[in-house]
Chain A
Amino acid sequence: MNRSETREPTTGPMAIARFLALVLLGAAIGGIAALCAVGFVAIVFFLNDTLLISPRSRMMFGHEQWLIAATIAVPTIGGLLAGMLHRWIRERRPHTPADVIAAVQTRAGRLPARAGLLSALSALVSLGSGASVGQYGPLVHLGATLGSLSARLLRLGRSDDNITIACGVAAAIATAFNAPLAGIVFAHEVMLRHYALRAFAPIAAAAIVGHVIATNVLERGALFHVTGSAVPQPWEFAVFLVIGGLGALVAGAYMVAIRHAGRLAARLPLPAVCRPALAGAILGTAALWVPDILGMGQETLRFATIAGAFGTAELVVVLVLKILATALCLGMGFAGGVFSPALVIGTLFGALCGSLVAMVSGAPLDTFIFYAVCGMVAVTAPVIGAPLTSLLIVFELTGSYVLTTAALASVTLASPIAAQLFGRSLFDIQLAARGLDLSAGRSHAVLHAMSINPYLTRECVTLSPQQTIGDAIATLGRAGHAEAYLVSAQARYLGTVTLAELEAMRDTAHASRSLIECTASDRSTLTPDTSVGEAMEQLRHFTGEAIAVVDDPTTRTFLGVVYESSIARAYLQQSDELRREEYGNG
């Protein structure tokens, strides 16, 4: 493996060898991530069976009183454990795919291994104890963490770090759904958000390894299953379009519910450690009446694809309760994904549409499964911001082209409407709340994630207010600068003076007057954590050499300056690196 981080050859045999090594690395990461995914899923199933969460174990156990106790106690204790695990993470919350997106989009890379493993562990506990959360988010994050870790161990650069992260993500999806194409597209559509041949090959290698491992190790029924050869009527495609539009609203309600639950939870007079436990207790109690809301809801998902398994009113109740249960669990701090619950919610929604259409048309539908799948895609695609991935999952799992085109009809409206009303995905909404705006694209995000701190310098002329004008002009002249910064004895930034201003003052006043009696122009300042992007915004209204940097806009302790040319250089360098990453071909 080539360990040099800078000045990599871009052509020639070395470059090819290096690229092939990267593909091999992708395959290796794919293997590790896939095995971890398989292990993760197996442990969740094992825990669900042992802890009396899965219907099969509950049925086999059979003692009614104990089951009631377990239904409440298991999610509560699971919540407590998850809450305790989160105390070991710096941010006091589990990491999710949103963190991966942030790392890739800002080219920060370097996902923290410790937080990643703790998040995975906490997700295992949450899923194992029946919280209404998803498993794919944690799998994606685990894969990404493993990818980033291997890039760090091999001392690869940031661009390669991004690629290895995407490899882990693709392998996790390819394994969990047994859908390699969906894995590859997901890594591009959600994580990288650009298409580069250099990234494609390692990601494809990872997805293929994941797929091979999944077909040989995981023996599970497909997520959905189509029998019969029913084909929708032409008018039904119009209904699918409408389902898409309405599904966007359901997806929006789901995302808003999760965000609100999080905000409400923060206001609870309860230590953060105990919040998931409270959510678990509420969930368990509610599950005594509506068991469908417990856990990932695979059985509920299956029943929702069967016409007549739910009554129409029942569909509405379970749909609303599942949204609330998931918002409760995620908002109160259980670790887990948003995709599996969205699958259940979407399928219930599709089933609801199907039964309403059947009611209106007065005949049972042969195409009920189409409605269920359209609803599912219409809700999941906006939530994860991945219309193509959702379609490919349908295609790869069913092998049905008709079903995929129906899903396409539905996703056509769902994704753009939800993006207009709510945001590109739940991840983007969460990141925006944390201050990272991805809506303007990657270069914007990179510039806004990069602080000016590395460009901060003290190589500038500072003047004390007691100095005289003449002295100041002489100092500036010796230093060869045209600007000086007035700094008090307490190191407080007072303002900037230019040579031109000083000359003008000398002409109107006496050269021996001290600077304190002159008015220094009050220019805007920066702080060390100001991003390059924000600094560039300020440059729009700025003429001069450099901007002063203070520790805090109120205390205004002078730290140094950032030259305008440094900011321009930083911008050019970032654009250059992004261009190489996104358009380089290997």
Chain B
Amino acid sequence: MVNARRAIALVLLSIVMPSPTATADDTPSLTVLSWGGSYERAQRQAIFAPFSEATGIDVVVERYDGGIGDLRQAAEDGDVDWDIIDMTQSDALAACEAGLLHPLSPSLAAPAPDGTPASQDFIDGAFTRCSMSHTVYATVVAYRRDAFPGTRPTQIADLFDQERFPGPRALQHSPAANLEWALLSYGVPREELYRLLSTERGLELAFERLESLDDIRWWEGGDTPVQWLVDGKVVMASGYNGRFFDAMIQQDAPIDILWDGQVQEHETWVIPRASDHPELAREFIRFATTTERLATFARHIPYGPARHSAATQVTTHIDSGQDMRLHIPTHPLNAQRAITKDHDWYARTQARVNERFRQRLPRGE
């Protein structure tokens, strides 16, 4: 994780407090650690601002690029200033195992508007000991429409086919998604990916496939691949589906998403053990995971809501009026050949697989 990238954006939302006696000092505030960029923008509009409006509590947002290294370091230093973290589920599992998080009860979540209990309304696997899923995002490959005249990639194996689809690729400098795609390109069934990646032979095949790529530009922050793709520095890039959507809609960039082989993962809310306001943080999570908030969030950025009741309420993009249902990863058309990321596998193997990955595919300059 590059620390320089941990640009901290302190934004206090200017909310008119209902009580005239309230001063800045006794106004409680919550610090949320999230992912920055268009994702954070969507969260501000769909969740943070309405929360402050409803409760009078300010939300301060800081930015990170995932992983639990920062949290571990901060906990060791006794210097955790985050109350809530937006974490991928595998990070949440690893952090929970490391004792860095408060346990979260599923009963915290509000029922659906029609009274369906949360336990039935959330998608499978949404609750773990320390985390509650709020959205399903996908790591996908996107490509420039103008890069391959007369043809376009249709399957994930095309990512590795530089004869038919020449040009530099941008990939995240982390094993997640890359290993899955590399092995998938050999034609193995999705269901067996992690079993096969658990063998020396499977890992070796995946690394060989990645090494066979001529020109890889490694990225770490989620905005980078979008920028490179928009600027034409690469012709194919992996990245988060919401960010690519943002570039397609807001910047009208000539890019398309290759849904084949999308790697779906849950994005969750967690509360660090060292949080100063765990009660407030719980209140925030309950608010942020209501059907209404999740459905609204998906109108800003195309991430699939983790609640069935919210998924059916997703309508059009708030700015462009695009039908958002076609852009969320969980839409049946997009999810045909989706990979569900094996959180358990990553939570247990991350350190070792990362190490191998970095050895085999050093970042270079």
List residues of chain A with CB under 8 Å of any chain B CB: 54-56, 58-62, 219-222, 225-228, 291, 298-299, 302-303, 306, 308-310, 369
A contact residues around B205 at 8 Å (CB): 303, 306, 308-309
A445 to chain B, nearest CB (A): 42
Chain A residue with Cβ nearest B187 = A227
Q: Which of B27-35, B165-173, B193-201, B249-257 sits within the interface?
A: B193-201
Judge if B323 is at the interface, Cβ distance under 8 Å: no
Judge if B2 is at the interface, Cβ distance under 8 Å: no
- Check if B196 sits within 8 Å of A59, measured CB to CB: no
- Check if A58 sits within 8 Å of B198, measured CB to CB: yes
B154 to chain A, nearest CB (A): 13
Q: Which of A54, A62, A225, A306 contacts B348 (CB 8 A)?
A: A62
Q: Which of A55, A225, A303 contacts B198 (CB 8 A)?
A: A55
- In the assembled complex, the Cα of A266 lies from the Cα of B198 at a distance in Å of 38
- In the assembled complex, the Cα of A277 lies from the Cα of B202 at a distance in Å of 30
Judge if B192 is at the interface, Cβ distance under 8 Å: yes
B340 to chain A, nearest CB (A): 12
Known A221-B190, A225-B189, A309-B205; judge A60-B196 contact (CB<8 A). no
- Check if A291 sits within 8 Å of B199, measured CB to CB: yes
Chain A residue with Cβ nearest B204 = A309
Judge if B349 is at the interface, Cβ distance under 8 Å: yes
B186 to chain A, nearest CB (A): 5
- Check if B195 sits within 8 Å of A306, measured CB to CB: no
Judge if B344 is at the interface, Cβ distance under 8 Å: yes
Other A-B contacts than A60-B344, A221-B190, 7 sampled, CB-CB below 8 A, are A55-B202, A58-B198, A62-B349, A221-B191, A226-B187, A299-B195, A306-B187
Instruction: Sort A-B residue pairs by CB-CB distance and give the 6 closest, nearest first.
Output: A59-B198, A221-B189, A221-B191, A55-B198, A60-B348, A227-B187
- In the assembled complex, the Cα of A309 lies from the Cα of B202 at a distance in Å of 8
B contact residues around A221 at 8 Å (CB): 189-192
Per-residue 0/1 for B163-191: is the Cβ within 8 Å of any A Cβ (1 yes, 0 no)?
00000000000000000000000111111
- Check if A299 sits within 8 Å of B187, measured CB to CB: no
Q: Which of B191, B199, B202, B348 contacts A220 (CB 8 A)?
A: B191
Judge if B148 is at the interface, Cβ distance under 8 Å: no
| Residues from 198 to 215 in B contacting A, C-beta threshold 8 Å | 198-202, 205
- Check if B195 sits within 8 Å of A298, measured CB to CB: yes
- In the assembled complex, the Cα of A303 lies from the Cα of B202 at a distance in Å of 8
A321 to chain B, nearest CB (A): 15
Chain B residue with Cβ nearest A225 = B189
- Check if B191 sits within 8 Å of A60, measured CB to CB: no
A535 to chain B, nearest CB (A): 57
| Residues from 326 to 365 in B contacting A, C-beta threshold 8 Å | 344-345, 348-349, 352
B111 to chain A, nearest CB (A): 29
- Check if B202 sits within 8 Å of A56, measured CB to CB: no
A86 to chain B, nearest CB (A): 31
Chain B residue with Cβ nearest A368 = B187
- In the assembled complex, the Cα of A232 lies from the Cα of B191 at a distance in Å of 28
- Check if B349 sits within 8 Å of A225, measured CB to CB: no
B contact residues around A299 at 8 Å (CB): 192, 195-196, 198-199, 201-202
- Check if A303 sits within 8 Å of B196, measured CB to CB: yes
